[in-house]
Structure 1
Amino acid sequence: MVSARRKAIQSLYRGICTVKTWGSVTDPVTKITTQKETTKFENEPCKLSYEKQTTASNTGGPATISQTIKLSLAPELDVPPGSKIIVTQDGVTNEFTRSGLPDVHMDHQHILLEAFQGYT
């Protein structure tokens, strides 16, 4: 049974995500093992949040601006470190990788993301 709190949180989700991993896959016919990308799950409701952080320089130089990207999704979904996470929200699709341990709550989880640049 889904709680009222979880329904309220998920009503804010505006995107969908697909999680892909890189690993060993054995062909069932040839029994040959190769490295390839596989889909762990797809079309899961989610929400991307962006937070800009500005820091001033001690040397009087220009301020540095960084951005924190956070993905909110269902708590039971396991997103391994280094996964490729493809998120479509508000008509825009971007690829990310998981950059930290998930902050898991009873009704949702938050995962900090970085732009995907390739499997590690």
Structure 2
Amino acid sequence: MPFGNVIDERLAIESTYEGLATVFEIQDVKDPVTRKTRQQPVMVLAAEPCALSQTSLPASTQTVTADQVNYDAKLFISPDVVIKPGSRITIVQDGMTFEGEQAGKPFRYPTHQEIKLKEVLNA
């Protein structure tokens, strides 16, 4: 496959996706009974093929009750999807579940986009 063919390059990248992402945005939701509006997480994307990569080595923090290990990650996903900053993203890949929050704007390429995630503990 020669470089320069965006369609083939995108297919090659997407063939490596082994994860599935579910995305939640905080949106105003009106309660039909009380008629009050409050912010709630709303699922905007489900089971979207993706890949998750660790961007930094885990840092361990010891607390009174337990050790915590948290790390940053990078999400690789289709450039066609829109994920807003601050969205909560759950990725299931290789038998693990990662709960993260988008940290910053996505970096888009014609073949994919990269989104930096910060792990959310006790999500």
Q: TM-score, normalised by structure 1?
A: 0.76
1:76 equivalenced with 2:80 (yes/no): yes
Measured on the aligned residues, the alpha-carbon RMSD in Å equals 2.5
Matched residues, number: 106
Moved more, 108-117 or 31-40: 31-40
Matched, 1:103 2:102: no
Gaps of 5+ in 1: 54-65
Q: Please point out which of 116, 120, 123 is paired with 1:116.
A: 120
**Alignment map for 1:48-67 (pairs within 5 Å):** 48-52=52-56
| Contact 2:52 2:75 (8 Å CA) reproduced | yes
The one-letter code matched in structure 2 to 1:5 is: E
C-alpha displacement at 1:15, in angstroms?
Answer: 0.2
- Structure-2 separation of matches of 1:18 and 1:11: 19
Check 1:118–1:84 CA distance in 2 against 1; reply closer, same or farther (3 A cut). farther
Residue 42 of structure 2 corresponds to which residue in structure 1? 38
TM-score (norm 2): 0.74
Note the alpha carbon deviations across 1:50-89, whole angstroms, 9 max, x for none: 1336xxxxxxxxxxxx954110000011111111000000
Q: Is the 8 A contact 2:73 2:116 kept in 1?
A: yes
Which residue of structure 1 aligns with residue 90 of structure 2?
86
Q: Is the contact between residue 73 and residue 119 of structure 2 (CA under 8 Å) also seen in structure 1?
A: no
